[in-house]
Amino acid sequence: MAGLLPSLWYRRAVQTTSPRARVRLPLVTSESRRAVHELVPADVVQRSSEPLADAEGRVVRYLRLSVTDRCDMACTYCMPAGGEDEHGLREELLTFEEITRLVRVLAAHGLRRVRLTGGEPLVRRDVVALVQKIRDAGIEDVWMTTNASRLAALASPLREAGLVGVNVSIDSLDPDRFAKITRGGRLASVLAGIEAAREASLALRTNTVVMRSENLGELAALARWAWSIDATPRFIELMPIGEGARLPSSERVGAGEMREALGSLELETSDAAADTDRGPARYLRSKRDPQRRVGFITAVSDEFCASCNRVRLTSQGEVRPCLASRRAVSLRELLRDGAGDDAIVGALRWALAGKGAGHDFAITPRDASSDVDHERVGMSLIGG
């Protein structure tokens, strides 16, 4: 293992390559849902102050930061019925100090926005303090994606710590249907959390994963309800990732059909537009009230890979350049082996060099000639 960054325990080696060249990675064969770690060549140590970018030239401005892989719900499209079998142990999770250092390094190379995810981020103890640390690290645009089940008690402290807003996952306004999709979640707790967020003046968005047999007929009602509480509704296409890949393909509803289901809202008929340097959602405005918008996140029927500006960092410190792949580079081991900032930046650039032009959802991993493994991605383990 001579010539590698200090005592890294990566499982497979690849050829040394320039950090900005496209890296062709070998086939992933493990049936595990956890990350497959890649070896980082020693010559990728970087002293450049240039923004982080991948081999396609897409500049990273946005970090999705998972703070835990645990959740108090088990949504059918996200987590197995009995929960994940491969949760990280406490000592495997990044500490708040490690997270803060990584955020500072990224901020020095163009990072503008951080979104805290899980699992469910509110199950991580002292998450309010982490929000404050991220703000202190130079990031003003800090958001959180949450199921809101614990938000009622934490909304105000989070706002005081500097959280800008929350995206609340809510797939139905019917208590029974909600409990079915989440495998036991209580809609009343979520609604209480949303009300607390409103009172705390947190910006609000709702995220709904659309499934044909579950909630397609409820989209217009969900949108009107979101508008009534000054939230922006967003509808997400079911992706063939992890548990979502195990659901019948007939459950998937594309962008066009979603718009048809929302016909009574009288949305614009033009192409949906994304917000600059934000996430993947594309928005349409209401003809009646241009202040009201509906967002669509449709990775399969109307993909947005060409404009991707995100990188994911798991709760165990793994850089995951693409949601649709288990390939990762462990920054936790670098941190704990005493690596300097230049080595961390080099590892980040190298990881981004392995990111493909797109997600390859149309290719099935069951094809022996395929090198994609999106069906084995553990959504709750990566942070979605």
pLDDT digits 0-9 by tens, 39-97: 665 666 566 678 899 989 999 999 999 999 999 999 999 988 877 777 788 899 999 99
Percent of the chain beyond pLDDT 90?
63
Given its phi and psi angles, is residue 160 left (phi above 0), alpha (psi -120 to 50 degrees) or beta?
Answer: alpha
Mean per-residue pLDDT, 253-275: 91
Q: How far is CA 150 from the centre of its chain?
A: 20
Mean per-residue pLDDT, 171-200: 98
CA distance 17 to 44: 8
Does an H or E element contain 147, and which?
none
Residue located via tokens 């997270």: 99
Q: What are phi and psi of 97, to 5 degrees?
A: -65, -40
Mean per-residue pLDDT, 142-152: 98
Query: Contact, 317 vs 35, CB < 8 A?
Result: no
pLDDT band of 28, cuts 50, 70, 90: very low
Picking from 37-51, 92-106, 153-167, which range would have the lowest pLDDT averaged per residue? 37-51
Considering the entire predicted model, what is its pTM?
0.86
Residue 229 has pLDDT above 80, yes or no: yes
Domain ranges of the chain: 36-382
Which residue has better confidence, 137 or 299? Answer: 137
Alpha helices in the chain (DSSP H): 96-107, 127-136, 151-161, 175-182, 187-199, 219-228, 243-246, 255-261, 331-336, 341-353, 379-382
Q: What is the pLDDT of residue 366?
A: 52
CA distance 144 to 131: 9
Q: What is the pLDDT of residue 6?
A: 34
Q: Which of 47-61, 251-265, 315-329, 359-373 has the highest mean pLDDT?
A: 251-265
Residue 23 has pLDDT above 70, yes or no: no
Of 246, 242, 209, 247, nearest to 380 by C-alpha is 242
Q: What is the pLDDT of residue 22?
A: 43
Which residue has better confidence, 356 or 284? Answer: 284
Residues in the chain: 384
CA distance 119 to 126: 15
Mean pLDDT of the chain: 84
Mean per-residue pLDDT, 324-328: 77
Q: What is the pLDDT of residue 12?
A: 30
CA distance 119 to 72: 8
Which residue has better confidence, 68 or 324? Answer: 68
Q: What is the pLDDT of residue 32?
A: 53
Query: Has domain 36-382 been given CATH number 3.40.50.300?
Result: no
Distances (CA, A) of 172 to 191, 211, 216, 296: 11, 11, 10, 17
Q: What is the pLDDT of residue 40?
A: 66
Picking from 114-123, 138-147, 312-321, 350-359, which range would have the lowest pLDDT averaged per residue? 350-359
User: How do strand 62-66 and strand 36-37 relate by DSSP bridges?
Assistant: unpaired
Residue 266 has pLDDT above 80, yes or no: yes
How confident is the model over 237-256, as pLDDT tens digits?
A: 998 888 888 899 999 999 99
pLDDT band of 31, cuts 50, 70, 90: low
